[in-house]
Structure 1
């Protein structure tokens, strides 16, 4: 009797974690795994210097370079959407309006998304978010409030959430970056890194505010000096005195203009610093 053909779920299931493939990579023997799963397996074989396929046991030397299988990744994303659509009841909520983040799974009318998943790289309405949790019971996904800037929170190299802040390179990285490019670096969680950056920028903002106040006081003093000089010049009619007064007045006007320009430039810093620090560092991911 012929064997039954494997289902889509079996084909796109990682043999190591037994969950649907996440960032699929196909190794030289043709078997496909999650990037994180096969990386962990081969990390344990580093001392031997010989790397094997967990399924067929074919060996490789040196350690093969892993690259994303884009075709499999696209099919996996379609399967995820199909499973969530099948598990969700027909929604009856209002559609997304201007400025709202749309649900990526809704067909036809797009509902307002309430959550975005950093693992699936999709945003979900309330109905499809519940279905997302129902069809992914074995893996805890990184979920945040719905955002239209989902890609800013994802590693461009590995397409994984930016969960780590590297103090060595002052950049946000994913877990796969941590075991390769940033191995051995001084790192903290993204939330801890954001708090550190907020503290640092807060001190910088205070210094800038203090500098603004100092320049404003200098401006006031310069204005008083200019007025005093005008009065003094009017009272003196001697040619040399008038020429000297004009030269001094010109110098003060130049200083006044310079101080004015610096004050304007500094005034642009405080609001952006405090407003963007929470969202620019690691995309504000917790």
Structure 2
């Protein structure tokens, strides 16, 4: 029974891909092939001929579907699928020749740059020319793993020129250089990657904390400024505006400084995050060759400011109101201008001071007018 099944699989295998037929079609000479296989074969031929019997056709033949044969192939494919593993497991190399369900490769050919399952490896064990090919344990991305000059597997790493080498490169062109196995160099450089990752993450944490501290301080400064400005509502409009202007200028300068520092920190965080992503990608690389070929000598992160020496000290707003009041009281001309401006505004609006005036060579008020002014400025002792 087993031999019968084996014979059925052989009969139902495409002579081009050596796999079970996939959408089988027949040529006029009676041979069967996968539709894709025979179509691709003829696309690269000058003359149209049968790959089995070499019969020549003057024009590209019309491919016919043998219904009975197709049903038999479908039944065989279902039985084969039960016996074969459903797919290649993670970490295993798939066969490059399988057109349906890819089976696990058992060998890779360094001449063909192809990996083969047990079925498709058969020509390398049977055909005289292919028996001379160099077979190794399955490897993915074969073309990248073979020395283009000597067609040998890359197994070593030159620390002087930072290159992956085959054994012939090592013995001929790099015999005076320090050369180590790729696995050893991978271990060393991976340690550097993890060290860099830890350093970058620490720098990011420090800058995020510094940014948060500055933001909190700026918010506290704004709250203090708001409280001080709120107290100004109990003073004359002129004095209130003077206080607000002074405080707002300080606040604007403070916020500008805070925004500049936060922006600078944000840029450093972004740059360091990009480095972290690159380092993380390298840190998860398990492929020694790919890692070493793409590895660039690690350097310290780009120059950044020493934020431990940066201090954000916003100005104090406490006492701004009292300072303005004292200044206005001491400098009588200024006080007169403020009061005059306030009364002028109220006069335009038809307020209670529309008939009040200031007179005197030095701007001194009469006792009556002084009393009137003091009644409107209860916080100022003139």
Report 1:1-286 matches (<5 A): 92=80, 93=84, 103-105=95-97, 111-115=102-106, 117=108, 119-120=110-111, 121-128=113-120, 141-144=135-138, 146-147=139-140, 149-237=141-229, 238=243, 239-268=245-274, 269=276, 270-276=279-285, 278-279=287-288, 280-282=290-292
* Residues in 2 aligned to 1:245 and 1:223: alpha-carbon distance in whole angstroms: 14
Task: Give the structure-2-normalised TM-score.
Answer: 0.42
* Count of residues paired in the alignment: 190
Q: Distance in 1 between matches of 2:194 and 2:107?
A: 29
CA gap 1:175/1:226 in 2 versus in 1, 3 angstroms = same
Indicate conservation of the 8 Å contact 2:107/2:117, yes or no: no
Question: CA 1:261–1:101 in 2, change beyond 3 Å: closer, same or farther?
Answer: same
> 2:109–2:133: 8 Å Cα contact kept in structure 1?
no
Q: Give secondary structure in 1 for the equivalent of 2:180.
A: strand
The normalised TM-score by structure 1 is 0.54
Cα deviations by residue, 1:175-234 (Å, 9 ceiling, x for unpaired) = 222133323110100111111111111111111111111112112112212212211322
1:127 deviates by 3.5
Distance, in Å, in 2 between the alignment partners of 1:179 and 1:155 is 14
CA distance in 2, matches of 1:215, 1:116: 52
Greater radius of gyration (CA): 2
| Alpha-carbon separation, structure 2, partners of 1:252 and 1:209 | 24
Per mean C-alpha deviation after superposition, the further-off stretch among 128-137 and 113-122 is: 128-137
Q: CA shift at 1:262, angstroms?
A: 2.6
Structure 2, gaps ≥5 residues long? 1-79, 230-242, 295-382
RMSD: 3.8
In the TM superposition, residue 95 of structure 1 has moved relative to its aligned partner by 8.7
Q: Per residue, is there more helix in 1 or in 2?
A: 2
Task: Give me the whole-angstrom Cα distance separating, in 2, the residues matched to 1:143 and 1:180.
Answer: 26
Q: Distance in 2 between matches of 1:264 and 1:95?
A: 44
Matches of 2:147 and 2:157 in 1, distance apart? 12
SS of residue in 2 equivalent to 1:276: coil
Give, in whole Å, the separation in 1 of the partners of 2:85 and 2:251: 74
